[in-house]
Amino acid sequence: MAGYDTGVYYSVETPDCEGCTDQQSSIVQVRDQENVRLNKWRKMLESWDKYYPNEKAIWLRLLDVARIKAEQEGKYLEMRERARMWSPDIRQIDLDVNRTYRNHIMFRERYSVK
């Protein structure tokens, strides 16, 4: 007997596969394993509120951010320096910030008042 609960297929009880061929037996095993996985996901999604405070940590793990950061180490600095060298607008931005926000605490170090 099978059913649907929140869009997830699950098997209530899988009968023993007596007299099944090897192919049928392997299909039953794969289906059962898939149903176990789906039930685990269903159980986790039902208690998602429990995991919500750690949503950022979950996304970091799902996207494997640590590995990507290790592979791309120094890439941000390289891109930032390249942008400073090649951006046609960076000089105008520097002039505008110096003119308008020179005394602002966020820009004080680079555009220090002399």
**Residue among 72, 69, 49 nearest 61 (CA):** 69
Q: Write out the two tokens for 5.
A: 């609960």
* Per-residue pLDDT tens over the stretch 81-92: 888 788 888 778
> What is the pLDDT at residue 25?
82
pTM score: 0.31
Contact 12, 2 (CB under 8 A): yes
> What is the pLDDT at residue 12?
47
pLDDT at 55 over 60: yes
User: DSSP secondary-structure letter at 113?
Assistant: -
* Per-residue pLDDT tens over the stretch 59-79: 888 899 999 999 999 999 999
* Per-residue pLDDT tens over the stretch 14-51: 556 666 777 888 888 899 999 999 999 898 888 777 76
Integer angstrom CA distances of residue 55 from 43, 50, 58, 60, 61: 17, 10, 5, 9, 10
pLDDT at 1 over 70: no
Q: Write out the two tokens for 24.
A: 């049928």
